[in-house]
Chain A
């Protein structure tokens, strides 16, 4: 558990980066600090591993004031991942990952074995071990950065905008990967980002900072989207927040029958869903006649029954060329159809439940 008690950071030029911060970071969860630039989120993060010393107040990790004791010892027990990874260009990937174990005095062999193990954990191919950072893509470098932070198995992980320098597709896969990892490892993670989408996606709890280093709201992401504490949070969370909030609702939806056809069969009039022999959706065809592969129109996104959110259900309906969203089961087989109206009705029902 990490606690900020009345923490203020004033820089020598008089700027107040963090102003009277009181906040408790839950152990074993992901806590995201989010806010515009100059809001003190990174400064707050860097006070946890004493890269910046607070001017007033105390920061404690597991009850111990970070300013007591030796800074280097403290930092060796806290994982640290930064933007653009900050890998050591002159060292191989394996030696980069082995950094902290070697600092802690592990034998070279044990540290390298641990590095190889971690490469697998973060999804890097073993042949990368002997390469140098400049030979890796941005996304791969960031995976190395995470592996390096995890090497000595620290209970706390600090991540400072780790995914902001990679392209959106890679970022999304890194986010998924982090959530999967966290499901296995259960670390106490403090994650800094300026991207509210990233914050609500990753955070068990989200702390919104406003310019001047004041904590504006600290809540679970669903609450943040539902009930912003004030105009600033409302403005920062953004105009799509109603839509985003659908991502946190996963009520059961009524599924309609969805007639399907296979390639080679004859389709009825109107839109029909084409499936492969296992019953997985391939796309849509319009109009009657024999179904040929060339005439199949690619389908929209899919809604997975059981695990999908209302957001993915609505998107499935809106992105489908026929206007009917395709619901699939866990194996990817067609389970039925849903419409945008179904989703809105479910939303209304969930509102009514909340009000009751």
Chain B
């Protein structure tokens, strides 16, 4: 423990291109890239499949399949195929980000009160308006829940970048292991954990800021209200079973 603290307290470890701040920025950069790529893939697919209210089994199947991929093996394979570079690292991490984002977006859109969607269409919203004005805003708690899950997983796993000679906080783990510098390894592990928790906290704040107050729990509510309030968002939403779509002409 003391060795860990003295390693962390050593000013030499807090400066230069191999110092903690530089590694932290690298780590965040890989994570952001991976999350952005994951979102670009998962959000449109989840939103469109949720909006169409069919094909949910594909989402469930592919999300579960991706979850089962061994990360280190995938990264090794990608590096062998593409050579060492930022792209295989980003791709390997994005594969982790996609399942929670996809599941959150799909189930968020899919679970919007069918009455609200029917009313939106019946009042003359076009399909894209139904999606962007009603379904996505109401799905936001679950989408952000998916984002939080994805961020946690990507940040925790981004240490593998060091395995293929990239930077990030993983360097402390890999280098520490090679030189049997256990305090350095421990410091790396602690830093990754702290970073994940801090980002999780920031995303929770973001969620409070952007989700409509009408969707938050705790709103004053009359006891005779009959229309259900959406359930609070779980951190890792699971897709829901597919219901039969209503016979609506789009």
A contacts, CB < 8 Å to B? 11, 49-53, 71-77, 80, 82-92, 99-100, 103, 132-141, 145, 148-149, 158, 165-167, 170
A11 to B221, alpha carbons, bound, how many Å?
A: 40
- 20 additional contacts (CB under 8 A) given A90-B138, A100-B123: A50-B249, A71-B249, A72-B126, A75-B123, A76-B124, A82-B119, A82-B122, A84-B115, A84-B227, A85-B227, A86-B113, A86-B120, A91-B214, A99-B120, A135-B219, A135-B221, A136-B225, A139-B224, A141-B226, A148-B119
How many chain B residues sit at the interface, stated as a range, is 35 or more
27 A/B residue pairs, CB under 8 Å, sorted by A: A11-B247, A52-B247, A75-B121, A75-B122, A76-B123, A83-B115, A84-B227, A86-B115, A86-B120, A87-B119, A88-B116, A88-B120, A89-B215, A90-B137, A90-B214, A92-B214, A99-B120, A134-B219, A134-B225, A137-B225, A138-B225, A138-B226, A139-B224, A141-B225, A148-B119, A166-B226, A167-B224
Closest to B119 in A: A86
- With both chains docked as a complex, state the minimum distance between the C-beta of A190 and any C-beta of chain B, in angstroms: 13
Write the B201-244 contact mask toward A (1 if CB under 8 angstroms, else 0). 00000000000111100011111111101100000000000000
Contacts of A87 in B (CB 8 A): 116, 119, 227
A84 to B185, alpha carbons, bound, how many Å?
A: 58
- With both chains docked as a complex, state the minimum distance between the C-beta of A67 and any C-beta of chain B, in angstroms: 10
Of all A-B residue pairs in the complex, the 7 with the closest CB atoms, nearest first, are: A132-B214, A76-B124, A86-B119, A86-B115, A90-B212, A138-B226, A75-B124
| Number of residue pairs spanning A and B whose beta carbons lie under 8 angstroms apart | 121
Indicate whether B60 reaches chain A with its CB closer than 8 angstroms: no
Interface residues of B in 101-126 (CB under 8 A from A): 113, 115-126
Cross-chain contact A134 with B227 (CB below 8 angstroms): yes
Q: Give the contacting residue for B118; candidates A50, A82, A135, A167; CB below 8 A.
A: A82
Cross-chain contact B226 with A134 (CB below 8 angstroms): no
A84 to B125, alpha carbons, bound, how many Å?
A: 19
Contacts of A73 in B (CB 8 A): 124
A165 to B213, alpha carbons, bound, how many Å?
A: 25
Indicate whether B9 reaches chain A with its CB closer than 8 angstroms: no
| A80 in contact with B123 given A86-B113, A86-B115, A138-B227 (CB within 8 Å) | yes
Contacts of B229 in A (CB 8 A): 89, 134
Cross-chain contact A86 with B118 (CB below 8 angstroms): yes
Indicate whether B18 reaches chain A with its CB closer than 8 angstroms: no
Contacts of B45 in A (CB 8 A): none
Indicate whether B134 reaches chain A with its CB closer than 8 angstroms: yes
Cross-chain contact B248 with A51 (CB below 8 angstroms): yes
| A52 in contact with B123 given A85-B227, A134-B227, A141-B225 (CB within 8 Å) | no
- With both chains docked as a complex, state the minimum distance between the C-beta of B51 and any C-beta of chain A, in angstroms: 16
A158 to B214, alpha carbons, bound, how many Å?
A: 27
A80 to B118, alpha carbons, bound, how many Å?
A: 10
Contacts of A83 in B (CB 8 A): 115
- With both chains docked as a complex, state the minimum distance between the C-beta of A93 and any C-beta of chain B, in angstroms: 10
Indicate whether B62 reaches chain A with its CB closer than 8 angstroms: no
- With both chains docked as a complex, state the minimum distance between the C-beta of B181 and any C-beta of chain A, in angstroms: 52
Q: Give the contacting residue for B227; candidates A92, A100, A133; CB below 8 A.
A: A133
A138 to B214, alpha carbons, bound, how many Å?
A: 16
Interface residues of B in 10-50 (CB under 8 A from A): none
Contacts of B165 in A (CB 8 A): none
Closest to A130 in B: B213
A217 to B229, alpha carbons, bound, how many Å?
A: 40
Cross-chain contact B220 with A135 (CB below 8 angstroms): yes
A158 to B119, alpha carbons, bound, how many Å?
A: 11
Contacts of B64 in A (CB 8 A): none
Cross-chain contact B138 with A72 (CB below 8 angstroms): no
Indicate whether B6 reaches chain A with its CB closer than 8 angstroms: no
A284 to B118, alpha carbons, bound, how many Å?
A: 53
A72 to B123, alpha carbons, bound, how many Å?
A: 8
Q: Give the contacting residue for A133; candidates B118, B123, B214, B224; CB below 8 A.
A: B214
Closest to A103 in B: B124
A137 to B220, alpha carbons, bound, how many Å?
A: 11
Contacts of B225 in A (CB 8 A): 134-138, 141
Cross-chain contact A89 with B248 (CB below 8 angstroms): no
Cross-chain contact A84 with B226 (CB below 8 angstroms): yes
Contacts of A85 in B (CB 8 A): 115, 119, 227
